Structure 1
Amino acid sequence: MTDSTRRRGERRPATPEPEDAWLLKVAEGASRDAGGVPVELLGDYLRMLADAATHGRQAKSRELDAVGLLGRRAAEQGISAGPVVQLYLSAARRLWQDLPMVVRSRDREAVRAAATAVLQVIDDAVATLAEGYAVARRDLVRREETLRRELIDDLLRGDSDLGTLVERAEPFGLDLARVHQVALAAPSRRLPDADAAISALEAVMFDRLGDRDVLVATKDGLLVVLAPADTGTVDRLPPAMDASNELGRLMHRELSRLPRGGPWRVAVGRSHPGLYGIARSYEEAREALAMAGRLHTDTPVINAHDLLIYRVLLRDQPAIVDLVQAVLAPLTRARGGAEPLLDTLHAYFDTGAVATESAKRLHVSVRTVTYRLARVKTLTGYDPTDPSHRFTLQAAVLGAKVLNWPQELLPIPT
């Protein structure tokens, strides 16, 4: 193979030919104007502009397709859309200023035709560039959402390989060695616009907690927030001052601003360290949501810490069923059934065994409260005003609430 044959078979070198050196200067200047966006993202755009100006040639489909691919590449490299478009517009401005043939021409019609051709190429190229960029961004968002959903599923399940999870969590800014807590938000009906809800929560969470160690996603029709906890105070704050209370209130307040989905109910699990602590906090939040539904509570924000007693009761359901049956079943013989007496007992215990406060909560007279307490003593043999009887009665009342008795029949012990 001769030298001339070899040269004909070789690809064109990346460095411009001498007559195209001015195009390289235009590209470098445009890159500086756009804040350092790589000149490689221009591709053959400058040659297309030069041909349009000098020969009136419009861009071909394959050339525009190449521009679209450059738009995708820019998005994949994480370059913002604004600087990329600025690169193309600045390149067009600089090329027009430096275009030798047009600058030397004194034919007004030739200049007008050249300008028209150049503007058409700019219009087609920038539109194609933006479309390619947008397609790539949508693909990236969908890919990230899939990765986020898969990560949150594995984190909440708690049985995945730790090393793999650490590697997958790193791009999302999660340090699995930290103490975290999980909060769940349930809409009143089917989850409405999940993207809008996630965006709203991310904005407020990132503003309050920073964009690291916070993950917002959906799972089983619920919004899931994984947030860091203050390791210095997590074990020293009383429940009323627990940071999880603030997390729950923050979520509920932000979600309540959305046009659909309300009223929302938020449940927050306790803070636990490590990977398995995330799964544990999630299970606590799930149980708290389910328990709130069974208890028919109207509290919008539920803390798993406040429902520990119910978890203890349910761990031995046969025993709590037996307790309710043995202690409270006689109340069904009362006029009006057991419910008024159970409501009175619940209010009485919640107010620290103060009849006047119980009467205010129930919107009845103090005399009615004392009468009902006396009926409880007569029917059950347990005196609510006697401290030695009070614990048994209160445990039975809590058990009745969690079993939704007497609205539902007690489960048959197995």
Structure 2
Amino acid sequence: MPRRKNGQNAAGSEADATVPGVAAPVGSGPPAASALDPYLKRLVGISTSRERLGEHELEGLREVAAAAAGRGTALTALVSEYLDSACRVWGDLPDTRRAEDHEGVTAVVSALLRAVADATVALTEGYETAHRAAIRGEEATRREFVDDLLEGRTDLGRLAERAERFEFRLLGPHTVAVARAASAFGAGDPATHYVEEALTTRFAAREVLTTTKDGLLVCVSRGTGPDVPEAFAAAVGDAVGDQHQLAISRPRRGPGGIVRSYQEARSTLDLAAQLGLSAPLVHAADVLVFQVLGRDRAAITDLVATVLGGLEQARGGPQPLLNTLTAYFASGCLNTATARRLEMSVRTVAYRLSRIRQLTGHDPTDPDQRYILQTAALGARLLDWPSQPIQPAD
């Protein structure tokens, strides 16, 4: 190692000297070079004083790294250039030349390594902090876009422009799936993050959007196929276990269709809870009849009270006969299949159907009267009758 002759300038004047070998970080340009230059020059004084970098200096390095992150410079490039520059100036640091024995060299090396290590940590901290902030900002912008998309709060031109930023195509049909779990979904929580990672790993950004809304997890997918909704359902199940339920809308076209599909998926989820459906996955098309009936509650209430009200005269109340009626329709109006479903004899099924005809005046075995009874039975489920009493309309 080259040594400086006795009588050369002291460290105090050398600290302000120009440091050879300082270059700009890769991809950052001259501004970053001038930003890092003072911290490389600082090694001159540290080689003599053995002091550590001050907190204000470390904070300055964090700011340099944050600025580099904002320009898109890679962290590896930034740290590599700082370390390379530190190596290049090593031979010209005053005490690396002045040290005359092993102990002197060791002291200089220890001080410089400590300074370089502290600087590297500060650069990494500043970069990662800026990177996390950028990610949070991007996620917030994305959530705002999806919220506006679901609510239909923005004009189509502006919405299409924002969708292009996230590479999501608004043209064509879209399907919306909504998930509810025992614990509300929140932006950035582990379950939400798991589902988002599962979908983004498998599907392109233009095919799927996810967000949290009112404690629900929402997935908007392009097309009419089941791939994304099924993957969404599987990921939610993996993330939260059995305590969840999903509703999937029918596909609709364009931004307006997304709004309608979202509303349909939410109402389907609420309807499934109201009806006590235990299936983890409910398709809106499967409960469409309930949604139609529910649009005129007064009419369906009147229908249930008028058609099925007579069942209240049955011994044991209306529920056993109503269960038989529901099973009978679900079994294709076959007595044998109904008996298997209810785990009773065919004779008992026939007796109950006869009692229903006597008490309601409508024969479930008559094709002309069957539809009235079936519609009334669906309405009873929607109104939670007979658990909840109803009064016929005036």
Q: TM-score normalised by the shorter chain: which range applies?
A: 0.7 to 0.9
> 1:133-164: per-residue Cα shift (whole Å, max 9, x none)?
23223322332333233222211111322222
Q: Return 42-51 or 288-297, whichever deviates more.
A: 42-51
Residue 194 of structure 2: aligned partner: 200
Q: Helix, strand or coil for the counterpart of 1:22?
A: coil
Does residue 393 of structure 2 align to residue 398 of structure 1?
A: no
Contact 2:21 2:85 in 1 (8 A): no
Residue 22 of structure 1: aligned partner: 21
Contact 2:181 2:244 in 1 (8 A): yes
Contact 2:47 2:93 in 1 (8 A): no
Spell out the pairing of 1:124-139 with structure 2 (5 A cutoff). 124-139=118-133
Name which of 44, 48, 57 aligns with 1:63: 57
Consecutive unaligned residues of structure 2, counting only runs of 5 or more, are 1-15
Residue 211 of structure 1: aligned partner: 205
Contact 1:180 1:226 in 2 (8 A): yes
Q: Quote the offset at 1:333 in angstroms.
A: 1.1
After TM superposition, the score normalised by the length of structure 1 is: 0.81
Contact 1:330 1:380 in 2 (8 A): yes
Contact 1:194 1:218 in 2 (8 A): no
Q: Helix, strand or coil for the counterpart of 1:226?
A: strand
Q: Quote the offset at 1:298 in angstroms.
A: 0.6
Q: Helix, strand or coil for the counterpart of 2:385?
A: coil
Spell out the pairing of 1:49-198 with structure 2 (5 A cutoff). 49-53=43-47, 56=50, 58-96=52-90, 99=92, 107=100, 108-191=102-185, 195-198=189-192
Spell out the pairing of 1:372-387 with structure 2 (5 A cutoff). 372-387=352-367
Q: Distance in 2 between matches of 1:211 and 1:200?
A: 16
Q: Quote the offset at 1:251 in angstroms.
A: 2.5
Contact 1:356 1:366 in 2 (8 A): yes
Q: Helix, strand or coil for the counterpart of 2:282?
A: strand
Residue 255 of structure 1: aligned partner: 236
CA separation of 1:19 and 1:360: change in aligned 2, threshold 3 A: same
The residue type equivalent to 1:43 in the other structure is L
After TM superposition, the score normalised by the length of structure 2 is: 0.85
> 1:147-185: per-residue Cα shift (whole Å, max 9, x none)?
233222211111322222223333322222242221111
Spell out the pairing of 1:192-341 with structure 2 (5 A cutoff). 195-229=189-223, 234=224, 243-244=225-226, 246-258=227-239, 260=240, 262-341=242-321
Q: Quote the offset at 1:253 in angstroms.
A: 2.3
Q: Distance in 1 between matches of 2:172 and 2:43?
A: 55
Q: Return 285-294 or 116-125, whichever deviates more.
A: 116-125
CA separation of 1:338 and 1:175: change in aligned 2, threshold 3 A: same
Q: Helix, strand or coil for the counterpart of 1:181?
A: strand
Q: Distance in 2 between matches of 1:56 and 1:175?
A: 59
- Aligned length in residues: 375
The residue type equivalent to 2:111 in the other structure is A
Q: Distance in 1 between matches of 2:347 and 2:79?
A: 79
Q: Quote the offset at 1:18 in angstroms.
A: 10
Q: Quote the offset at 1:50 in angstroms.
A: 4.2
Contact 1:249 1:301 in 2 (8 A): no
Calculate the aligned-residue CA RMSD, in Å.
2.8
Contact 1:252 1:264 in 2 (8 A): no
Q: Helix, strand or coil for the counterpart of 1:185?
A: strand
CA separation of 1:99 and 1:413: change in aligned 2, threshold 3 A: farther
Contact 2:20 2:88 in 1 (8 A): no
Q: Helix, strand or coil for the counterpart of 2:104?
A: helix
Consecutive unaligned residues of structure 1, counting only runs of 5 or more, are 1-16, 235-242
Identity %: 39
Contact 1:172 1:215 in 2 (8 A): no
Contact 1:251 1:266 in 2 (8 A): no
Name which of 372, 388, 394 aligns with 1:408: 388
